[in-house]
Structure 1
């Protein structure tokens, strides 16, 4: 069995996987060597691990992973992948983005796929039917847009997402909520339409913490896969085992 660790901007998600599927996924505030020991005790069959992190993490965690697993991979720009990475600045490519692309490849091989990760930022990434990752776009996420209006202006309040029934807000709070939420829906819908015009039979996958926000709000259809990054990391781990 495999342990997959995904350290994001705000949360850490770890998954226990077989070679072909995600068995269990847990979200925590932080991942420590103590937690690692607990997981190893609970799942005695864990032999391989992979870690993806979008930020720095303690050296002692890497040491613990190296010691406690027969195979440990720290995902980086040189890690062999089952897809062709055509991104020019591979060193700056978010590891969560490439992992999600590999997850899409695992689920929908030989298909044009647009992966939309709605989290701290919204990322749009394209995988071709030929297994090439071409790149994508990065845009502010929902919470970031609300926060930016508050932080970069003198008087606009910090507003939380909520139900928006009207196109036009009649108070400042309503106007901010309508502007942010309608705006992000318009953006995502238009992005999907534009990608569909350029890539035939495009399948759209949504993942990330705000994926559910877009349910029944978009004109375009999409599939939600919350474990997409974990699926991708597990596939990368499996691919590297096959490459040895």
Structure 2
């Protein structure tokens, strides 16, 4: 059993996250048909980040990345946002990790799928984002469609996007020669970064014990990267 104290008190490790994701079936190697029609040698299912250990490590990754961003900026106010539904536990856990590990008292909020028509009403919950530059947390950006919807929600609330952090960057070409993350960064003119990307997965496999299964999987990942990567 992993040492929970070790996870709590150390910085985010991409290698540790990959291993934990594999152990919990969040990350799988094999053959998976994506919506694009591409046959991917791996699949990342953020819906299975369903243990305290997994969520704590992921939140630490987001928190470490945000703390670095804040250290480079003069504005010390931090507002983070998670899109319903998967983004809600991500942003809540990250706010706790920011306070516990970095002493940053971040404000956080999220959206409802359907606007509330009674009580306080509206489709946003948590911190008031009006007039604020907000960091958005997400799991994976594929085509960028869902993230653009989040940007629209924030803009309608009078907020702007300060940057975006995702758990995994597949670093794949979209319709052109750029990835969805590269396109978002260019269109929004904000930083878009990932905690782990396909190159980290390839490095993990390359460092694994040299067995036939791992060697075959590494070759498939390298081929996929060469074929579709940016």
User: Normalising by structure 1, what TM-score?
Assistant: 0.34
User: Normalising by structure 2, what TM-score?
Assistant: 0.35
Whichever of the two has the greater Rg, that structure is 1
Which has more helix, going by share of residues? 2
Q: Highest relative contact order (Cα 8 Å, sep 6+), 1 or 2?
A: 1
